[in-house]
Amino acid sequence: RLRREVLFFPSQVTCTEALLRAPGAAPSALPDSCPCGLPHGESSLSRLMRALLAARVSLELCLFAFSSPQLGRAVQLLHQRGVRVRVVTDCDYIGPPGSTRSHLVLSAGIQVRHDQDLGYMHHKFAVVDRRVLITGSLNWTTQAIQNNRENVLIMEDDEYVRLFLEEFERIWEEFNPR
Amino acid sequence: RLRREVLFFPSQVTCTEALLRAPGAAPSALPDSCPCGLPHGESSLSRLMRALLAARVSLELCLFAFSSPQLGRAVQLLHQRGVRVRVVTDCDYIGPPGSTRSHLVLSAGIQVRHDQDLGYMHHKFAVVDRRVLITGSLNWTTQAIQNNRENVLIMEDDEYVRLFLEEFERIWEEFNPR
Ligand SMILES: [Zn+2]
Ligand SMILES: [Zn+2]
């Protein structure tokens, strides 16, 4: 059965430590021991992280804005596990070294390319293992996750994955700095 | 066979007069007579308008920003034809009477509700005849259509339509000014 899920936001920002330690774990796996002060239940954020953390081979990210520390740590973790991670983002939303923007991803040594254009690179999608498309209105920022009305579709769909990967490769080449 | 389409932007802003006069017509139906100066071929914009103009009964719009004159005219036309149109938008993107923002829709007497919240109403979706979901990263502005990298999914899908209509009704009630 093919995966199909819709996430709506705003979502509580819940603790995702359990997920980051053991991707299959329920977020409530460490409620007693964890001193973070955040709620430890399931949330749209934890579901989105779970979909990302399922990656075993490759992850393409095409994101207008990407500054959520939790999502950043998830992507960093995948990179450390040997997943091939490629990130495209908009130049207005990627900071210089030392800024808070995307620093987790950049400092991890993940390949990041960004736009130099007048128009925005306004997509907000990810492709997991060339098999699952994650796309919607949500920019990957704590502000958006916590406060905005947003949607994210998670779809295991060959046709959509193919079309969005083609779009990713076009942008990846277009933003090639060489 | 259920409709599934992906539109990528930027798109040429093509002439959509033919579509507005006869919704089923090819955009090139009046190339010789039309003095507009725009190209008259098919585009992501014309495909999006075609999907909207297929509405016969109802149209729900949940849009962060809605100022494209062409999309505004399409929605106005549907209202004039007796389609039940309801619009939810973000307060930061709806102007006072006389502004260019959304004026086509407002002046047509279409029901519009907007956010008063701190968070953004950041969705960009439409539901046509409770049967087709249109959703993606695209704000309905000429700037975004012409200049940005964007995606729009058009999906005839009962499950997604149901979930997005529920979200629409929640927001519609929440933004009820009474
Ligand atoms: Zn915790
Ligand atoms: Zn024309």
What's the complex ipTM?
0.89
pLDDT at A3: 85
Instruction: Please state the pTM of the whole predicted model.
Output: 0.90
Helix axes A69-80, A44-53, angle to 10 degrees: 20
pLDDT at A97: 45
Nearest Cβ partner for A150 among B117, B122, B146: B122
The residue that leads in pLDDT, B59 or A2, is B59
pLDDT band at A109 (very low <50, low <70, confident <90, very high): confident
- Tens digits of per-residue pLDDT, B115-138? 767 789 999 999 999 999 999 999
Whether B12 has a pLDDT exceeding 70, the answer reads yes
* Residue A20 DSSP SS3: helix
Stretch B40-49: mean pLDDT = 94
Is B119 in the A-facing interface, judged by CB distances under 8 Å?
A: yes
User: Which residues have a Cβ under 8 Å from the Cβ of B106 and sit 6 or more positions away?
Assistant: B94, B97, B112
How far is CA A145 from each of CA A8, A60, B65, B121, B153, rounded to the nearest angstrom? 9, 20, 19, 12, 22
Whether A102 has a pLDDT exceeding 60, the answer reads no
Asked whether the bond before A10 is cis by omega within 30 degrees of 0, the reply is: yes
- Chain B residues whose CB is inside 8 A of the A150 CB are 122-123
Across the interface, do A6 and B163 touch by the CB < 8 Å criterion?
Answer: yes
Across the interface, do A119 and B6 touch by the CB < 8 Å criterion?
Answer: no
* Cβ count near A119 (within 10 Å): 16
Amino acid, res. A134: I
Average pLDDT of chain B is: 86
Q: How far apart are CA B99 and CA A112, in angstroms?
A: 40
Q: How far apart are CA A38 and CA A81, in angstroms?
A: 27
Rg (CA), chain A: 16
Q: How far apart are CA B59 and CA B81, in angstroms?
A: 12
Degrees to nearest 5, angle at CA A154 with B72 and A5 = 95
Across the interface, do B123 and A147 touch by the CB < 8 Å criterion?
Answer: no
- Tens digits of per-residue pLDDT, A20-45? 887 666 666 665 678 888 888 899 99
User: Which residues have a Cβ under 8 Å from the Cβ of A142 and sit 6 or more positions away?
Assistant: A13, A67, A68, A69, A70
Burial of A155 (0-12, 13-18, 19+ CB in 10 A): buried
Q: Are A178 and A28 in contact (CB under 8 A)?
A: no
Degrees to nearest 5, angle at CA A18 with A15 and A105 = 75
- Tens digits of per-residue pLDDT, A60-88? 999 999 988 899 999 999 999 999 999 99
Q: Are A91 and A114 in contact (CB under 8 A)?
A: yes
pLDDT at A11: 86
Question: What is the 3 state secondary structure string of B47-110?
Answer: HHHHHHHCCCCEEEEEECCECCHHHHHHHHHHHHCCCEEEEEECHHHCCCCCCCCCHHHHHCCC
Whether B55 has a pLDDT exceeding 70, the answer reads yes
* DSSP tag of B31: T
A124 part of the active site:
yes
Whether B105 has a pLDDT exceeding 90, the answer reads no
Across the interface, do B6 and A171 touch by the CB < 8 Å criterion?
Answer: no
Whether A95 has a pLDDT exceeding 60, the answer reads no
The residue that leads in pLDDT, A93 or B38, is B38
pLDDT at A106: 63
- Tens digits of per-residue pLDDT, A124-171? 999 999 999 999 999 999 899 999 999 999 999 999 999 999 999 999
Is B171 in the A-facing interface, judged by CB distances under 8 Å?
A: yes
Beta-strand relationship, A58-63 and A84-89 = parallel
Q: How remote is the C-alpha of A24 from its chain's centroid?
A: 17
- Please tell me the least confidently modeled range out of B88-97, B108-117, B133-142, B164-173: B88-97
Task: Give me the active site residues of B, please.
Answer: 122, 124, 129
- Please tell me the least confidently modeled range out of A56-65, A85-94, A146-155, B72-81: A85-94
Distance from CA of B147 to the nearest CA of A (A): 4
Whether B8 has a pLDDT exceeding 50, the answer reads yes
pLDDT at A49: 95
The residue that leads in pLDDT, A41 or B155, is B155
- Chain B residues whose CB is inside 8 A of the A135 CB are 136-137, 151, 153
pLDDT at B29: 63
Q: How far apart are CA A153 and CA A146, in angstroms?
A: 18
